[in-house]
Amino acid sequence: MPKTNDGKRRKDNIVREEKNPFIEHIAGDESVVTSQGEARDARGNDDRHRVRIISKRVRICDPDNLVGGVKYLVDSLRGAEIIPEDDPKSITLEVSQEKVKTYKDEETWVEVSVHE
């Protein structure tokens, strides 16, 4: 049973039954590829723009910091109208990092494959 901040146990809510919010968002049997099927044509080709970002660093960072750190870069690509939108139906985003030996070798590579 969850505790409140004062250390006392919380009483169950007998008046109403709360729904679990996660149940209505269960993906079920459908895979992610099937869910995004409208982005593929009849031959299975993906017509989304591909944005690939490679960060070359002396100190490798945590994956969540790396992916979160590319937000402004992707937003800039959208602002410059290089990509139409930054949602999953419009782009595929690949983010990776490589270790380099010196700080002068640090750089970020951005590759955009544009589909028209």
Are the C-beta atoms of residues 53 and 97 closer than 8 Å to each other?
A: no
pTM of the model: 0.59
Question: Could you read off the pLDDT of 71-101 as tens digits, one per residue?
Answer: 999 999 999 999 999 999 999 999 999 999 9
> Residue 12 — pLDDT band, cuts 50, 70, 90?
low
> Residue 9 — pLDDT band, cuts 50, 70, 90?
low
> Residue 46 — pLDDT band, cuts 50, 70, 90?
confident
The pLDDT value given to residue 8: 56
Are the C-beta atoms of residues 57 and 15 closer than 8 Å to each other?
A: no
> What's the CA gap between 73 and 53, in Å, rounded?
9
Percentage, residues of the chain above pLDDT 70: 59
**Residue type at 16 in one-letter notation:** R
> Residue 65 — pLDDT band, cuts 50, 70, 90?
confident
> Residue 16 — pLDDT band, cuts 50, 70, 90?
low
DSSP string, the chain: -PBPTTSPBPPP--S-PPP-TTGGG--TT--HHHHTGGGB-TT--B-SEEEEEEEEESSPPPHHHHHHTTHHHHHHHHHTTSSS--STTTEEEEEEEEE-SSGGG-EEEEEEE---
